[in-house]
Copies of this chain bind each other. A is one copy, B any other.
């Protein structure tokens, strides 16, 4: 085992650290630490700043406008970003559709869409889930029927995150009925301004508007916007499996921000003149949390090192997703606990009332964290995946 960075990587770290020493507004901090997304304008501004520095797409190859960084450099970059309270980059364009476009898309699609992703000129959302599908994605019913040079889309999508903001959407739709449900599904790139698209906000328990229902009524999409071949969309989605591992891994690094948030909250609050952070009970809980976060960070580093070495990390990606969601939930809950009775002060009812320093975001983060064990493959599904694929245990 070797655990020291080589000099070039050390120099790179300094460079990244210098970059993040400025340009991260203080008002982002609490939301970022709570695991909440910044506003779209803020995320766009952040992405543009990265793109201007040539760092818009840390995981992409150079030829498509990416940095071409090694996994270790990606790890360094994210760690420094996290330490500086920078946000995670919005991932739906960068990590979910971008890589599919540059892997399976035509040259025309690459030229047309990739720069807009890196430079945050476009905002992509995902049209995969459907109302009754849940964890059973392959049961999708949205149809795309070829009509001349277009596909005509009809159907309903659920959980379209940031659909209310997006300029584009990548949609899985059924182009034919096949005996195997995973077949006959195609992937289409859709301009959100196309007539026939209706977005309806879905209110969620965290009181933050981030997701939507999307209705597709005779939405005409140019056939040129088909990614790869017709009927193979499900397969293309699989390229995501490898990348999603990296996405979760990168997000997991950001848990060190939650540790900081808890520490600050517990340093501010006193009981009988003693700071909460100095009380053995709370101290032990925070220590336990920090230790578990440390274990996860090191698992992430191992995924990165495996990727660098070209080694398969096996089920480590699913494990990181599992543990990350558990720790997101535990961390925000600990944070809210540190607020004491004022955790009940979520929103002022009149003007000019002071919320506690980290409200409402600490609470909103705690509520939001509940969905992290549901989306992107619920914790139960992750368990199934690990049991079946890695341990070879069959139903």
Contacts and interface: CB of A to CB of B under 8 A. Distances in A.
A279 B281 CA distance: 10
Contacts of A279: 280
Contacts of A284: 281
A284 B280 CA distance: 11
A86 B281 CA distance: 36
Interface string A255-281: 000000000000000000000000111
Interface residues of A, number: 4
A281 B279 CA distance: 10
A interface majority secondary structure: helix
A347 B205 CA distance: 57
Interface in A269-309: 279-281, 284
A281 B284 CA distance: 8
A279 B284 CA distance: 13
A24 to B, nearest CB: 37
A217 B234 CA distance: 62
A281 B283 CA distance: 10
A280 B276 CA distance: 13
Contacts of A280: 279-281
Nearest to A282: B280
Among A279, A280, A284, find the residue whose CB has the most chain B CB atoms closer than 10 A.
Answer: A280
A280 B283 CA distance: 11
A283 to B, nearest CB: 9
A284 B284 CA distance: 12
A68 to B, nearest CB: 50
Contacts of A281: 280-281, 284
Nearest to A284: B281
Interface string A170-208: 000000000000000000000000000000000000000
A277 to B, nearest CB: 14
A52 to B, nearest CB: 51
A274 to B, nearest CB: 12
A45 to B, nearest CB: 46
Interface string A91-130: 0000000000000000000000000000000000000000
5 contacts: A279-B280, A280-B280, A280-B281, A281-B281, A281-B284
